[in-house]
Chain A
Amino acid sequence: MKKYLYYPGCSLKGTGKAYEESLIPVFKTLDAELHEIDDWNCCGATAYMSVDELKAFALAARNLAIAEKEGGSDLVAPCAACYLVLSKAQQYMREYPSERHEVSEALKGVGLTYSDTIKVRHPLDVLINDIGLKEISSKVKKSLKGLKIAPYYGCQIVRPYATFDDQYNPTTMDDLIKACGAEVVYYPLKTRCCGGSLTGTIPEVGVRLAYILLREARKRGADMLVTACPLCQFNLDGYQDQMKRRYEEMSMPILYFTQILGLAFGIPAKELGFRRSIISANSALDMRGIVHV
């Protein structure tokens, strides 16, 4: 039984619920336990860094310090933005010792210590490198054969730090899709920005970026996209209505990689948060004859 500390982040409790709902049963099937750390706070995402850098580091460091206190070594952060924010805070405090000192002192003031002993991990990293494709393939009960999936990684898990995958052509999700029996569609935009928070603040810019991604996926013959970031999922899924108004109807389901992995493991779709998708995946799955009760 592999044990990991778990940092869900605000999104996975809100708009990204389906990610957590599918992550936990998938990990359980693979004999890995996720233990949510106590009283974690928001990582700060991009917004906090826009207001105060040092406090943003402190925000991230509090979570790392809590993880330290709980006595683990690996902290799994599924949200790509949280993953980057925690990693970046760690990295910058290593490069700029004065910042580290200020943050450590502040944490000491509230009874926490920061010793930089935690390894921030992404579930893709854990699946491919800790658990391994062989083990994952062995748990596949219902092959997703016939399903054409475009893997969409987004920015934060490959830039600026490419720790567990190639920066220009990552393949961890591709491998997982293949392990499920589905077909990986050639998708050259797999690491292009989805627009981030601009879809909500400046829609004419943000929504267009998301639209370009879906348009290319459709061109390449994908039935659906699979993603590893809750904001990407939200942008690509939730704004299809705006895309319809501004450009054209897309009707492209967007799922988390944990959801298709769970489906392939034989876990019922309703236990994997499939109902959370705004654009339902039902018709795509039906078309390919994949059972998904």
Chain B
Amino acid sequence: MTYKHMIKYEAECDPKFAEWVTEIVGGEKIRQCIQCGICSATCPLSLYMDYPPRKLIHLAKEGFKNEVLRSNTIWLCASCYSCTVECSKQIKVTDIMYALKRRAIEEGVFAKGIPIPVLAKEFYKMVRSEGRTTESWLVVIMLLKTNILKIFGMTTLGLNLLRTGRFSFLKDSIKRKDELKSLLDSLEEAPS
């Protein structure tokens, strides 16, 4: 039987991370969190998260960067905004989740086995080059990059979509692709 070693030493906290969190657009009030728990209580996904939103906010404030970025919490967030609406201090919790997603992707730190960062990155690439997303291609690329075996579970859905004409392999794109590319690239230097 192995035992978890759960004591945390101050050296493990990253004060720079804690400071970064307070500078997130929408995260200005994070220090005022009274840990009431209404965010976790209203979140329809919190029952699946390793750290419910309330706990994650506390960990972020204290600078436990590793725990925060490696949690599955940020990827399970469906952006339903229930937490943001209910928060007693009106902390924009959803925006903090987005910022943590961005930081995790930037640092290449993810919880194991979660395909969402891949989806986000592929979506990003597709929009940059085509200006629009073609859902069919997005799903195919995702499956190729994460778990090709999943495709078997999706055959019924795929066939249903083909049958009803909602599935097209025609790539949808805008006319002025270069305009979009230069628009996005001109913001490259700006901090996200």
A41 touches B132 (CB 8 A): yes
Majority SS at the chain A contact face? helix
Residue-by-residue, is A13-25 near B (CB-CB < 8 Å gives 1, otherwise 0)?
A: 1111110000000
Q: Does B101 contact A (CB under 8 A)?
A: yes
Distance to closest chain B CB from A293 (angstroms): 18
A107 touches B124 (CB 8 A): no
Q: Does B51 contact A (CB under 8 A)?
A: no
Distance to closest chain B CB from A234 (angstroms): 8
Chain A interface residue count, CB cutoff 8 Å, equals 64
Chain B interface residue count, CB cutoff 8 Å, equals 61
A160 partner, pick from B85, B105, B134, B156, beta carbons under 8 A: B85
- A62/B82 contact (C-beta < 8 A), A51-B105, A96-B25, A278-B164 known: no
Q: A127 CA to B180 CA in the complex, in Å?
A: 33
- A197/B78 contact (C-beta < 8 A), A102-B190, A106-B183, A238-B161 known: yes
Task: Give B126-184 interface residues, CB cut-off 8 Å to A.
Answer: 127, 131-136, 139, 153, 156-157, 160-161, 163-168, 172, 174-176, 179-180, 182-184
- A159/B81 contact (C-beta < 8 A), A51-B121, A102-B190, A106-B183 known: yes
B124 touches A47 (CB 8 A): yes
B78 touches A193 (CB 8 A): yes
Chain B residues contacting A242 (CB-CB under 8 Å) are: 153, 157
Q: Does A268 contact B (CB under 8 A)?
A: no
Distance to closest chain A CB from B50 (angstroms): 13
Distance to closest chain B CB from A252 (angstroms): 15
B81 partner, pick from A45, A155, A200, A277, beta carbons under 8 A: A155
Q: Does B192 contact A (CB under 8 A)?
A: yes
Q: Does A52 contact B (CB under 8 A)?
A: yes
Q: Does A205 contact B (CB under 8 A)?
A: yes
Q: Does A179 contact B (CB under 8 A)?
A: no
Q: A48 CA to B161 CA in the complex, in Å?
A: 25
Distance to closest chain A CB from B47 (angstroms): 9
Chain B residues contacting A133 (CB-CB under 8 Å) are: none
Distance to closest chain B CB from A129 (angstroms): 22
A238 touches B115 (CB 8 A): no
A205 partner, pick from B48, B82, B165, B183, beta carbons under 8 A: B48
Q: Does A201 contact B (CB under 8 A)?
A: yes
Q: A192 CA to B25 CA in the complex, in Å?
A: 26
B127 touches A48 (CB 8 A): yes
Q: Does A218 contact B (CB under 8 A)?
A: no
Q: A40 CA to B180 CA in the complex, in Å?
A: 10
Distance to closest chain A CB from B22 (angstroms): 15
**Partner-binding segment picked from A53-61, A254-262, A283-291:** A53-61
A205 touches B164 (CB 8 A): no
A193 partner, pick from B80, B84, B168, beta carbons under 8 A: B80
Distance to closest chain A CB from B45 (angstroms): 7
B160 touches A59 (CB 8 A): no
Chain B residues contacting A278 (CB-CB under 8 Å) are: 160-161, 163-164
A47 touches B120 (CB 8 A): yes
Distance to closest chain B CB from A142 (angstroms): 24
A54 touches B192 (CB 8 A): yes
Q: Does A110 contact B (CB under 8 A)?
A: yes
Q: Does A209 contact B (CB under 8 A)?
A: yes
Distance to closest chain A CB from B118 (angstroms): 9
Interface residues, chain A, with chain B CB atoms under 8 Å away: 10-11, 13-18, 39-42, 44-55, 58-59, 62, 92, 96, 99, 102-103, 105-107, 109-111, 155-156, 159-160, 167, 192-193, 195-198, 200-203, 205-206, 209, 238-239, 241-242, 275-278
Rank and list the top 10 A-B pairs by shortest CB-CB distance, nearest first: A47-B123, A159-B81, A193-B80, A196-B78, A50-B101, A155-B80, A41-B131, A50-B120, A160-B81, A278-B160
